[in-house]
Structure 1
Amino acid sequence: MTIWATPTLAGRHVSLSPLDAAHADGLRAAAADGALWTLRYTSVPGPAEGDAEAYIADALAQRDAGVALPFVVRDADGDIVGSTRFYDIDRSIPRVSIGYTWYAVRTQRTGLNTEAKLLLVDHAFASWNCEAVVFETSHENIRSQTAILRLGAKRDGVLRAHRRHRDGTLRDTHVFSILRHEWPALADVLRRKLESHPNV
């Protein structure tokens, strides 16, 4: 029987471990690098007292309900730089989404995100035998769409008026996926890219 639990994953640029309440101060500091909470299409804790704690509590509630597995993300120096999670877990296929991802500005457009996604996607296919890994993002988040396409994911389509942003405006959701048979070749490309150009 496959056990779906939050793994600890580590590479040269990044490490991911289960999110817990002790990470509140680290997340607060990471979000402050770029004032990430001002981007309405992201789910990032704000600077107010209790925001990071509430963010973690919500993520852990999703974990306890069996619908998400949240991570704290650290850079090569061990500093907390953001968060990500598996969500929309469908064990019957199996299929999983990766999202709720945000990083301190200083780590964006570096090898950290590429390696984090490599570790997460590889775990989904190798350990959970997933048939597909899915990525979703707002129509306004062009940077995220570009990063997902760089991974080799294919655009499945757009869900119009699918959700609302934090400010209440409607969000069209761009959906991408990687299938099991596509992953070995994509993983090789990403590994070579990280070896040749560590800051991709």
Structure 2
Amino acid sequence: MSFVDTPVLRNDIVHLEPLAHAHRDDLAEAVAVGDLHRTWYTRIPSPDQMGDEIDARLAKRDAGTVAPWAVIDARSGRAVGMTTYLNLDEANRRLEIGSTWLGRGVHGTGINPAAKLLLLERAFETLGCVAVELRTHWHNHQSRAAIARLGAKQDGVLRNHTVMPDGIIRDTVVFSILDSEWAAVRAGLEHRIAHRVG
């Protein structure tokens, strides 16, 4: 069992499938709603860049550095976003869940917590991780709130961490969930999903 493997993960709300070019048209349509790709503090591909983004993630997968999935809405069967295991550190049993985006049409539908449940369950219960990180831009208040709602705790802020494509320098907020916290995080996610709390 390798951190770079991308098996199909599924529950009643969402399926995570290995990212493939077959998802391109659905993903291009999902990102076009509300011009999601124009959000200044994120790196979300435009509809026209979707094929290149898939190529880039698959190349990193082939190099053994990431594990990318397409996020599939179980109700429609359509791809509505992407998510990835990053910073794979098998020796220290750590990884990051990141490079995640979901189309605006599925925000608040329960897909995000349902997908995070699948990813965290695999990380802690199958891969034996001792910690899972989640990172976001300081100015991405929606993402910071969503990560905190998962039950992750803020570790700190990496100042002047990343130069964005537009030249703006990003401060990165780092959160984590430890294996000792997983049972409580799981219970919280299962409660949110059962009550359809996005």
TM range (shorter): over 0.9
Structure 2: how far apart are the matches of 1:198 and 1:46?
Answer: 29
**% of aligned pairs identical?**
43
Q: SS state of the match for residue 34, structure 2?
A: coil
- Aligned residues of 2:82 and 2:101 also touching (Cα < 8 A): yes
Q: SS state of the match for residue 42, structure 1?
A: coil
Query: Residue 98 of structure 1 corresponds to which residue in structure 2?
Result: 97
Question: Which is helix-richer, 1 or 2?
Answer: 2
CA shift, 1:96, in A, is: 0.5
Superposition pairs of residues 161-180 of structure 1, within 5 angstroms? 161-180=160-179
Q: SS state of the match for residue 12, structure 1?
A: coil
- Aligned residues of 1:155 and 1:175 also touching (Cα < 8 A): yes
Query: Residue 148 of structure 1 corresponds to which residue in structure 2?
Result: 147
Question: What's the Cα RMSD here?
Answer: 1.1
Query: Residue 6 of structure 2 corresponds to which residue in structure 1?
Result: 6
For structure 1, list consecutive stretches of 5 or more residues without a partner in the other structure.
none
Superposition pairs of residues 35-114 of structure 1, within 5 angstroms? 35-48=35-48, 51-76=49-74, 77-114=76-113
Structure 1: how far apart are the matches of 2:147 and 2:124?
Answer: 17
Deviations 1:81-129 (A, max 9, x none): 1111101000111100001111110111221101100110110001100
CA shift, 1:68, in A, is: 0.3
CA shift, 1:44, in A, is: 1.7
Q: Displaced runs of 4+ in structure 1, greater than 6 A?
A: none
For structure 2, list consecutive stretches of 5 or more residues without a partner in the other structure.
none
CA shift, 1:34, in A, is: 1.9
Aligned residues: 196
Structure 2: how far apart are the matches of 1:199 and 1:153?
Answer: 17
